[in-house]
């Protein structure tokens, strides 16, 4: 009887651990960010998609992302994550506008996918 109880307790503990890990892995990195900041991140993502789809130049994409409202860094650290991710995206777009190489394009794609992941959206 004691063995069955121990096995049951260990099984429940493992199940709870797996559920908690799954929940942590599937939650958005920006979940606690302000709605305003999440909207700005979504706009930056859409602009970057236009660049990656060759609808706008890297320079135009950079200028449009740069013109987005300032990110509010106060409050939850998710706001700081959005600010950092958009700063890195802007830098990648600027580099791509200066030197149009596959490496720079790949960097823009990586930065775009990081923002998409933070918003809980799919990567390209």
For the chain, the structural domain boundaries read 3-119
Is the pLDDT at 42 greater than 60? The verdict is yes
Distances (CA, A) of 93 to 25, 37, 49, 53: 28, 20, 12, 14
Torsion, Cα 39 69 50 118, to 10 degrees, reads -40
Helix axes 102-119, 35-52, angle to 10 degrees: 150
State pLDDT tens for residues 64-92: 999 987 777 767 788 888 989 999 999 99
The Cα 46–Cα 13 span in angstroms is 42
What pLDDT sits at residue 101?
A: 86
pLDDT tens digits, 15-30: 455 444 444 444 578 8
> pTM for this one?
0.74
Residue 56 reports pLDDT greater than 70: yes
């Amino acid at each position: 009887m004691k063995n069955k109880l121990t096995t049951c307790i260990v099984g429940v503990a493992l199940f709870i651990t797996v559920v908690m890990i799954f929940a942590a892995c599937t939650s958005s990195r920006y979940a606690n960010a302000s709605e305003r900041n999440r909207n700005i991140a979504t706009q930056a993502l859409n602009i970057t998609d236009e660049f990656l789809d060759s609808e706008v130049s890297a320079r135009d994409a950079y200028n449009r992302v740069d013109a987005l409202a300032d990110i509010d860094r106060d409050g939850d650290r998710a706001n700081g994550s959005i600010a950092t991710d958009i700063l890195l995206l802007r830098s990648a777009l600027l580099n791509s506008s200066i030197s149009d190489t596959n490496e720079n394009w790949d960097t823009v794609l990586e930065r775009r996918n990081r923002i998409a992941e933070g918003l809980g959206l799919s990567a390209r």
